Structure 1
Amino acid sequence: MASSVLNSSISISVSDDDDEDPSTRMRVPIRRKRKKPGPRGRPDFTRKILTKLFKWWPALLLLFATALLVYEAFKIGGADSRSPPRAKKSENVAAQISDTKPQGNLNKLDPTTRVVGGVRERCLKLLPPEKLQILKIPNDKDSNSPIKELVYARATDRVSEERNFNLSTVYLEGTRFNLFTGNQTLEQREHSFKVTERTEVHCGFYSEGGGFRVSDEDKSYMNTCKVVVSTCAFGGGDDLYQPIGMFETSLQKVCYVAFWDEITLATQEAQGNKVDESRFIGKWRILVVRDLPFRDQRLNGKIPKMLAHRLFPNSRYSIWVDSKSQFRRDPLGVLEALLWRSNHELAISEHGARSSVYDEAKAVVKKNKATPEEVEVQLTQYRQDGLPEDKRFKGKKALAEASIIVRKHTPLTNLFTCIWFNEVVRFTSRDQLSFPYVLWRLKEFKRINMFPVCTRKDLVNSMGHIRKAKPLTN
């Protein structure tokens, strides 16, 4: 006999001799499974709908996407026939920018951050808003400067009225020196690096007939500026981006000046960006320059970039912003963060890609930004002068990215930028090549803040160049 247990409660004896007749067997009750709650328990109509949705959801999603594309295409097509609303002059004029250029970064105010020691912090450490709103310009004097008087070289013979011609065609043979720069000799170049109480240096504006003319009204305006944010666009190369992120204190104390030539003025007016009766577009005072001294528009742009102290003789501080960027921070706050707080006289960004001037020279040639011949002339001179291949300056990169320059106008910083400008005129207009050399030669210039790339990204929204500048042809 064998024994089996069914349903945990009924014990049945089964004989090995039992026949197969089912009538002789005892029926065992079967426990049915209970139905679980869920879609099966719902009405048939709801279950059918859910089944259809699960089955056809890819097709429904595709149908929705197609409808959305049709709607967007209709909206874009309809927008072409409607004229955009006219912006007020007091509002941000950046909305007037051409439709053909990228605007992805325009008007962004979010801070740029980085991780330091496992902690994320802001790259540009500005004062809190309540302090920025009451920030004052310090009244410190330059009593410790090794230079007591900086003298700018000028022409001894006055240019006659008969020589009033287009100076962009006047070049001394074999050089780019002209009536604007004066013909600096190698001996004068060498002497300019010797800092004395009375130092003389070539620094543009050499002759009355040298070009870069602005109106008397513009000169009067420039003479009133104590702090200036400046940019330029020559040859119609770039558009104008309105500065953002400033407080009312800075709006009252800071001049915003954009240098244009007549080509840029015509280009912008064709796009509907007209200068108002006060010569402003938004917050920018537009200064139209005539008789540009150089054929190379990049070289013309170095004048407002490096010689702000010549253009704004009464200014104490300046911030240069390349035309490809939108300045997005409070200028007094920037001066406090990069100069006043650390007792520096000039602040400029480290180069993002390279550290050595010799590596930069190879990149300049490879990208066709200068000819191999003119770059080799410059490097040969620097090698003869003993410029080492050091890639660091006081622990930081020696190579600078010069799209933003924050500076105090002191005799030493003025001398530095004058010499830098002369190197750019003498050799190539790629100012990254000459910056480390001038920094190395001018030993007395030590109060420089070479800030990291992420700080530069916090200062501006990078838009990139819009179009190629038109060179002067006559």
Structure 2
Amino acid sequence: MSMAGSNGVSITVSDEEECDELGRTRARVRRKRKKPSYRAKSELAQRVIRWLVKYWLFLVFVPATVLLLYEASRVGRKTSPEIDSKHSSRVERRPMMNLNRLDPKYRFVHGVRERCLKLLPQEELEYLDIPVDEGSTGPVNKVLYISERDSLDLEGSTVLSSQLTETTRFNLFTGNQTLDQREKSFEVNETAMVHCGFYSDNGGFKISNEDKNYMERCEVVVSTCAFGGGDDLYQPIGMSGASVRKVCFVAFWDDITLSAQEYAKQTIGEDGFIGKWRIVVVKELPFTDQRLNGKIPKMLSHRLFPHAKYSIWVDSKSQFRRDPLGVLEALLWRSNSVLAISEHGARSSVYDEAKAVVNKHKATPEEVEVQLTQYRHDGLPEDKRFNGKKALAEASVIVREHTPLSNLFMCLWFNEVVRFTSRDQLSFPYVLWRLKVPKNIHLFPVCIRKDLVNSMGHLRKAKPLIR
């Protein structure tokens, strides 16, 4: 700004100066300001502290979770010639932490701790014998299996029928069961006629004559199968001397599993055995779905072992760890049952199980709906229990006597998994309900199943067949 001095000369005073009453200028005293960078750094630090306080849980647990998932994904990972031949030296095998564990399982009943599976004392197991066959006294005395000739006679001039569903899984192995034949097969008569696999000599599931001769000599059999190279072979443990002498142990493999196991140094001996297991290599499996191929030895043991009186099925993901004859005594002979199978651990209703199957992507919603629509049409109730027990079963262990009734049950069950989904939990309650003979079926608690086996879980995804 401008001011007039005493001599009339104009004096310019800057904004940084002030004038006193005498017209003299004096400099303004200014406080030293803090540099902006210090303030910015302070605000940034405060923001970081507030963010850390707010999200510290996220920062701690997310990295830990990622690490755990990574480690879990490595468990059981294993290379094979078909998976990664370039890195064969980096083979990772799943730790066998459950192998050779014989510790019993317990449960509380009315506040009292008791063992789940009550086997006879060891000294009695050593002298346990197979009961003498007194003949069938049940509602079914004989089962006739429909052959190619029978189907031609029943249908007139052709096996095919317009009543067939749109599924393509019926084939020369199963026979082309019509809906009328399906309905009649559930009629409980003294003589039952039913499709039950091995429909034609050209249907597949080929076994060598040497293996057939061995299987025909089995009176009691423990069986398992691993098709598609999905699982390793676990040796059974906990056997008495009587079971070692009298029980056959048979594992069914295909060529894929044979190759994978040979790579893992599981080599079949000249006698056809690996440890206690007789290895039966099956040729020409009838289905591209390996899960469905696995239902053949699982459900049709009476067809594979024509002279066997008893069989115990064990999923390939498990190690059988109890005395077979003792298990037959505890689960069949003691309760006068012909079939013993574990209750489902999580659900009781077939309709609830269907939702879980879809949610876990075990089957498509469309194929599950086809099955449920048929079951609703047939009148299957939504009851969660039959005769006070769960209707839903967990079929990783199946213990049974080969009677006409149990053979018919397994044939009907097998035909349902062929016609609909291969999730056998969905069809078990339906077959149980249709036959109306549940008093001969023993659904045992889950803890007994856990006592029967050491569960390993599936090691790898089974490879599908490529036609």
- TM norm structure 1: 0.76
* CA drift at 1:105: 1.3
**Structure 1 residue 180 and structure 2 residue 187: aligned?**
no
Matched with 2:350 is 357
Q: Can you list the C-alpha shifts for 1:393-425, whole angstroms capped at 9, x where unaligned?
A: 111110000000000000000000000000000
Q: 1:353 to 1:102 in 2, by over 3 A?
A: farther
**Structure 1 residue 452 and structure 2 residue 462: aligned?**
no
**Structure 1 residue 300 and structure 2 residue 293: aligned?**
yes
Q: CA RMSD in A?
A: 1.6
Matched with 2:315 is 322
Report the AA paired with residue 319 of structure 1.
Answer: I
Distance in 2, matches of 1:388 and 1:102, equals 44
The alignment partner of 1:101 has SS state of coil
**Structure 1 residue 194 and structure 2 residue 187: aligned?**
yes
Q: Percent identity?
A: 73
Q: Residues 63-462 of structure 1: matches in 2 within 5 Å? A: 99-156=92-149, 174-462=167-455
Distance in 1, matches of 2:192 and 2:112, equals 47
* CA drift at 1:100: 2.0
Distance in 1, matches of 2:188 and 2:111, equals 44
Matched with 2:30 is none
The alignment partner of 2:130 has SS state of coil
Matched with 1:463 is 456
User: Could you tell me whether the CA contact under 8 Å between 1:133 and 1:249 is conserved in 2?
Assistant: yes
Distance in 2, matches of 1:115 and 1:148, equals 40
Q: 1:102 to 1:362 in 2, by over 3 A?
A: farther
The alignment partner of 2:149 has SS state of coil
Q: 1:193 to 1:251 in 2, by over 3 A?
A: same
State the number of aligned residues: 366
Q: Can you list the C-alpha shifts for 1:366-399, whole angstroms capped at 9, x where unaligned?
A: 0000000000000000000000000001111100
Distance in 1, matches of 2:418 and 2:95, equals 32
The alignment partner of 2:439 has SS state of coil
Matched with 2:15 is none
The alignment partner of 1:320 has SS state of strand
The alignment partner of 2:211 has SS state of helix
Distance in 2, matches of 1:457 and 1:300, equals 25
* CA drift at 1:157: 9.0
Distance in 2, matches of 1:288 and 1:135, equals 32
Distance in 1, matches of 2:125 and 2:286, equals 40
Mark the runs of 5 or more structure 2 residues left unpaired by the alignment: 1-90, 153-163
Distance in 2, matches of 1:226 and 1:140, equals 11
Distance in 1, matches of 2:306 and 2:384, equals 35
Q: Can you list the C-alpha shifts for 1:224-274, whole angstroms capped at 9, x where unaligned?
A: 000000000000000000000001110000000000001000000011110
* CA drift at 1:107: 1.3
* CA drift at 1:118: 1.9
Distance in 2, matches of 1:303 and 1:453, equals 24
User: Could you tell me whether the CA contact under 8 Å between 1:325 and 1:462 is conserved in 2?
Assistant: yes
The alignment partner of 2:394 has SS state of strand
Matched with 1:59 is none
Distance in 1, matches of 2:335 and 2:369, equals 38
* CA drift at 1:148: 2.4
Matched with 1:70 is none
Report the AA paired with residue 458 of structure 1.
Answer: D
The alignment partner of 2:311 has SS state of strand
The alignment partner of 1:199 has SS state of strand
* CA drift at 1:186: 0.3
- TM norm structure 2: 0.77
* CA drift at 1:147: 2.0
User: Could you tell me whether the CA contact under 8 Å between 1:158 and 1:207 is conserved in 2?
Assistant: no
Give the ranges of 4+ consecutive aligned residues of structure 1 lying more than 3 Å apart after TM superposition: 171-174
Distance in 2, matches of 1:225 and 1:404, equals 19
Report the AA paired with residue 318 of structure 1.
Answer: S
Q: Can you list the C-alpha shifts for 1:23-44, whole angstroms capped at 9, x where unaligned?
A: xxxxxxxxxxxxxxxxxxxxxx
Distance in 2, matches of 1:157 and 1:417, equals 20
Report the AA paired with residue 249 of structure 2.
Answer: Y
Q: Can you list the C-alpha shifts for 1:200-229, whole angstroms capped at 9, x where unaligned?
A: 000000001000000000000000000000
User: Could you tell me whether the CA contact under 8 Å between 1:413 and 1:445 is conserved in 2?
Assistant: no
Distance in 2, matches of 1:143 and 1:453, equals 30
User: Could you tell me whether the CA contact under 8 Å between 1:182 and 1:204 is conserved in 2?
Assistant: yes
Distance in 2, matches of 1:302 and 1:141, equals 30
User: Could you tell me whether the CA contact under 8 Å between 1:158 and 1:208 is conserved in 2?
Assistant: no
Q: Can you list the C-alpha shifts for 1:333-361, whole angstroms capped at 9, x where unaligned?
A: 00000000111110000000000000000
Report the AA paired with residue 142 of structure 2.
Answer: E
Q: Which moved more, 1:192-201 or 1:283-292?
A: 192-201
Distance in 2, matches of 1:266 and 1:140, equals 41
